[in-house]
Structure 1
Amino acid sequence: MPRVLRYALLSVAAIAIGLVALVYALTWHPAEREPATLACTGDVAQVQPGQALKVMTWNLQYLAGKRYVFYYDLANGSGPDERPTREDLAYNLDEVVRVVREEQPDILNLQELHEGAKATDYQDQLALLQERLADLYPCTSQAFYWKAAFVPDPHIFGSVGTKLTTLSRFRIANAERLQLPELQQLPLRQLFAPKRALLVSQLPIRGGGNLTVINTHLDAHTTGQDVQQRQLAMVRAQLDSLEIEGKIWLLGGDLNLLPPGQFDHLAASQQARYPRDTPLQALWEHYPMVPRIDEASGPEQASWYTHFPNDPRVDRPDRTLDYVFHSPHLTRIDARVRQQDTLGISDHLPLIARFLLPPAQ
C-alpha cells in the first residue's frame, strides 16, 4: 500500500475514533440501577401507620405553559415553536407554586423538570421550586431521564436535561434510579435520546417498614415498536416484587397511555399517537388505578382528562394520560383532577388522590 494512502487511511481512522469519543463524551450513560440524588433538611417526620396521605402527580412541561405549539407537538414535527419565553417560565413557576400551596399534597411526583437545558435558559427548575416550597417539602429525590451536553437536532442544538422529582413532607431514607427499556433506534441517534426511568423512593413508616413511592414518565407510542409494552412489563415486575414482599407502595406519573374506551372519543387527528388496544391493561387488571376504569371510561370521563395537547385543533382537555396505581393495602378516600384553574400552566393537569394507610399491626 502506498505510504500516502496509508497515512490517509490512518488519518480517517483517527478522525472517526475522535468523533466517536466526542459523541460519547457529550452523551449520558446511566447504569441500569444506581442511587438517585436525595436530600432531606432538618428533623423530618416519618409516615405514620393509619394516617391519611395526599398524593399529587403532575407533568409540568418544563414550566412552558400553553401559549405554544412546539415542533414535537404535531405529528409531522412542524410545530412553529422551539422554546418558551423567560416571562412565561417565570409566570408558570408562580402558578405551579400557587397550586401546590393550595393543595399541599404530602407526596408530589413531578415529571419534565429541566436542569441545564438550553431551551429553558439552563435553569435548575427543581431548585427554583424548592426555594418557594422549602417549608412544605424538606425531602426531595430526583433522577434524570434525558441528559446531554449537546444534541445536534436543529430544534435543540444545545444541551438538554429533563428529570423526575419526588417532593415529600416525610423522610425519604433512600432513592434509586432504575433504567427502563429504551426505544430502538439507530446507534448514533440512540446515544442522544431520552433514557426513561423509574425513580423509586423509600419512605420509612414509624414502627417498621417502608412506603415505596415510584415516579415515572413512559415513552410515547411509536408505530412498529413495542417499547411501551416492554416498559410496562418492567413496571409490572417491580410492583409484583413489592407485593410478594408485602410492601406498601404507590406509583404516580405520566404513562402516555389511554385507558380503555377513550381511543374512540379522540378526534381522528389525535388517534395516531395511541394504539387502539391499550397495553395499560398489564397494570390495571392487577392493581388499583386512579382513575378507575369506570371513571376514566364512563359518562363522566371528561372530569378525569389530564392532558390538553398543544395542538391548535384541540381546544380543551380530551384524554387521560396520568395515573396513580397503588398497593391494595392502601384504601382510596377520594381523587380528582384539578382542571378548573390549571389549563394554562402545562399541557398536563394535576391528578390528586388521598389514601388511608393500614393501621399498625
Structure 2
Amino acid sequence: MAYVKRALVGLLGLAVLALLAFGGLVLWLWATDYRPPQVVDLQVRGAGEQGAPAELSLLTWNVGYAGLGAEQDFFLDGGSRGWPGPDEVRRYLDGITSYLQSHPADVVMLQEVDRGSKRTHYVNEVVAVAAALPDYAWVFAKNYDVAFVPVPPTSPMGRVVAGQMTLSRWRPTAAERHALPGEYSFLVQLVQLDRCFILERIPAPDGREWVLINTHNSAFDAGQLREQQLGYIKEVMTREYAAGNYVVVGGDWNLILPGVDPDTAFAHTEPRPEFYLPFPEDWTPAGWTWAYDARVPTNRSVSRPWSPGENYVTVIDGFLVSPNVKVEEVHTDDLGFAYSDHQPVRVRLSVGER
C-alpha cells in the first residue's frame, strides 16, 4: 500500500512539473510574441534603377523556405517530416537562386524566405537571394518570428524567423508591411505565422504609380481567416485603383484560383486535402483580371514526396490586376517541384486604358 502511495505521489509530482513547464513555455512564447503594428514602413535596401516603366515583368514564387523540394513531405500536411538536412537546404537554395538569375523579371515576389531558422539550419536565405540579384532593390517583411515552435513533438521546429521578400529592378519610392487580419486560437497563434502583404510603389510614366502587393494568405483554417484577409486586400487594392494607380496583387493566395476546377484540373490520385479551398465566387471586383497559367499546377500537396500523377496539385499562385492594366502574357515554369512545393509564375503587364 505504501508503495502505491509513493507511486501516486511521484506521478502527481511529474504532472505538476509538466504543467509548470508547459505554463513556462506559454509565458515565454507570449512574452516574445511578434506583434507588429497594422502598417510598418519597410527599409528599401540594395540598388535598383530610377525610372517610370510603362511595362513590367513580374515573378511570384513561394520558395518553401528552401526546405520543401521534391524529396520532402511535411507533418502538417500529413507527412512525417518537418525539414531536410543541411545539404538539401543548400541544394534547394542554390536551385532557387540559379533560377532567379537565369529567368530575370523586373519585380520578384517571394514567399517563405527564412532568415534564421532551425528548420533550415540557420542559413540566411534573405542574404543569399539579395546576393543573387545584386542590381535589385529589395525589402523583407517578417511574417513568422517565434522563439520556439514545439511541433512536431519528436523533433520540434524550434526557432523560426521567416517572411516575404520583394526585389525590384526599379527602385520603389515607398514600401510597407500590411498585417492581414484574423488570428487562430490563443495557443495556436503563439506559434503560427503573422500573415501580411508587402505593398510597394513604383512611378508610372503618366505621374501615377504602380502599386505592387506581394501577399501570402493563411492556410489550414476552415476559411474564416482567409475570408477576413481577402476583405482587407480588396479594401486596399480598390482604394488604390480609385486613386488612379495601376494595381497588381501577386503571391500565394492559399486558395484555388477562380476558374480552376478543384478536383479535375490536373491528374492526381491523392484526394483533395480539406484545407485546399476554392476561391469565393463573388469576390473578384468587376473589371479586374486574374493572370495565371491554367496548364501548369503551381502547388503540390506535401503529404508525401513528389510523385507525378499521385500528389494532389492545383493553382493557388498568381496575379490579380486592376482594370487599367493589360496582361500581355503569363506563364508558369514547370520545374517538377524540384526546389519547392510551389512553382514560379511569370507575367508581363503594361499600362492599359483606365
Bin of the TM-score, shorter chain as denominator length: 0.7 to 0.9
Name the amino acid aligned to 2:147. Answer: A
**Alignment match of 2:318 (pick from 323, 335, 350):** 323
Name the amino acid aligned to 2:150. Answer: P
Confirm or deny: 8 A CA contact 2:73 2:305 kept in the other structure: no
Name the amino acid aligned to 2:116. Answer: G
Q: What residue ranges of structure 2 are gaps of 5+ in the alignment?
A: 1-20
Name the amino acid aligned to 1:158. Answer: G
- C-alpha separation in 1, matches of 2:286 and 2:193: 29
Q: Which residue of 2 aligns with 1:274?
A: 276
Q: Which residue of 1 aligns with 2:291?
A: 290
Q: Which residue of 2 aligns with 1:345?
A: 339
Q: Which residue of 1 aligns with 2:12?
A: none
- C-alpha separation in 2, matches of 1:26 and 1:44: 38
Structure 2 CA distance for partners of 1:173 and 1:132, relative to 1, 3 Å: same
Q: Which residue of 1 aligns with 2:231?
A: 233
Q: Which residue of 1 aligns with 2:88?
A: 88
Shift of 1:83: 1.2
- C-alpha separation in 1, matches of 2:22 and 2:260: 51
Structure 2 CA distance for partners of 1:310 and 1:184, relative to 1, 3 Å: closer
- C-alpha separation in 2, matches of 1:150 and 1:268: 32
Shift of 1:267: 4.9
Structure 2 CA distance for partners of 1:284 and 1:121, relative to 1, 3 Å: farther
- C-alpha separation in 2, matches of 1:290 and 1:309: 22
Shift of 1:191: 2.4
Q: Could you list the per-position Cα deviations for residues 115-137 of structure 1 after superposition, in whole angstroms to 9, with x for gaps in the alignment?
A: 111111122201011122213x2
Q: Which residue of 2 aligns with 1:212?
A: 211
Q: What residue ranges of structure 1 are gaps of 5+ in the alignment?
A: 1-14, 297-302
- C-alpha separation in 2, matches of 1:125 and 1:148: 17
- C-alpha separation in 1, matches of 2:199 and 2:178: 8
Structure 2 CA distance for partners of 1:285 and 1:87, relative to 1, 3 Å: farther
Name the amino acid aligned to 1:127. Answer: V
- C-alpha separation in 2, matches of 1:180 and 1:111: 15
- C-alpha separation in 2, matches of 1:206 and 1:331: 15
Q: Which residue of 2 aligns with 1:357?
A: 351
Structure 2 CA distance for partners of 1:101 and 1:28, relative to 1, 3 Å: same
Confirm or deny: 8 A CA contact 1:334 1:353 kept in the other structure: yes
Shift of 1:55: 0.6
Name the amino acid aligned to 2:35. Answer: H
- C-alpha separation in 2, matches of 1:192 and 1:238: 27
- C-alpha separation in 2, matches of 1:104 and 1:345: 18
Q: Which residue of 1 aligns with 2:50?
A: 45
User: Does 1:243 pair with 2:238?
Assistant: no
Q: Structure 2 length as normaliser, TM-score?
A: 0.83
Confirm or deny: 8 A CA contact 1:263 1:271 kept in the other structure: no
- C-alpha separation in 2, matches of 1:16 and 1:193: 17
- C-alpha separation in 1, matches of 2:156 and 2:282: 35
User: Does 1:131 pair with 2:131?
Assistant: yes
Q: Could you list the per-position Cα deviations for residues 285-320 of structure 1 after superposition, in whole angstroms to 9, with x for gaps in the alignment?
A: 5511112xxx63xxxxxx231112223386337210
Q: Which moved more, 1:316-325 or 1:237-246?
A: 316-325
What is the root-mean-square deviation of aligned Cα atoms in Å? 2.7
- C-alpha separation in 2, matches of 1:289 and 1:180: 21
Percent identity between the two aligned chains: 24
User: Does 1:264 pair with 2:263?
Assistant: yes
Structure 2 CA distance for partners of 1:197 and 1:280, relative to 1, 3 Å: farther
Q: Which residue of 1 aligns with 2:172?
A: 172
Name the amino acid aligned to 1:53. Answer: L
**Alignment match of 1:56 (pick from 59, 71, 92):** 59
Confirm or deny: 8 A CA contact 2:181 2:229 kept in the other structure: yes
Confirm or deny: 8 A CA contact 2:29 2:147 kept in the other structure: no
Secondary structure at the counterpart of residue 271 of structure 2? helix
Shift of 1:33: 1.4
Q: Which residue of 2 aligns with 1:73?
A: 77
Q: Which residue of 2 aligns with 1:12?
A: none
Q: Could you list the per-position Cα deviations for residues 264-294 of structure 1 after superposition, in whole angstroms to 9, with x for gaps in the alignment?
A: 326562242233x532641265511112xxx
- C-alpha separation in 2, matches of 1:18 and 1:67: 37
Confirm or deny: 8 A CA contact 1:218 1:256 kept in the other structure: yes
- C-alpha separation in 2, matches of 1:264 and 1:93: 31
User: Does 1:195 pair with 2:194?
Assistant: yes
Runs of 4+, deviation exceeding 4 Å? 15-21
Secondary structure at the counterpart of residue 53 of structure 1? strand
Shift of 1:350: 0.4
Shift of 1:17: 9.9
Confirm or deny: 8 A CA contact 1:37 1:141 kept in the other structure: yes
Q: Which residue of 1 aligns with 2:13?
A: none
Secondary structure at the counterpart of residue 177 of structure 1? strand
What count of residue pairs does the alignment treat as equivalent? 325
- C-alpha separation in 2, matches of 1:16 and 1:60: 33
Confirm or deny: 8 A CA contact 2:58 2:107 kept in the other structure: yes
Where does 1:9-28 land on structure 2 (aligned, <5 Å)? 22-28=28-34
Secondary structure at the counterpart of residue 69 of structure 1? coil
Confirm or deny: 8 A CA contact 1:38 1:141 kept in the other structure: yes
Where does 1:113-132 land on structure 2 (aligned, <5 Å)? 113-132=113-132
- C-alpha separation in 2, matches of 1:176 and 1:258: 26
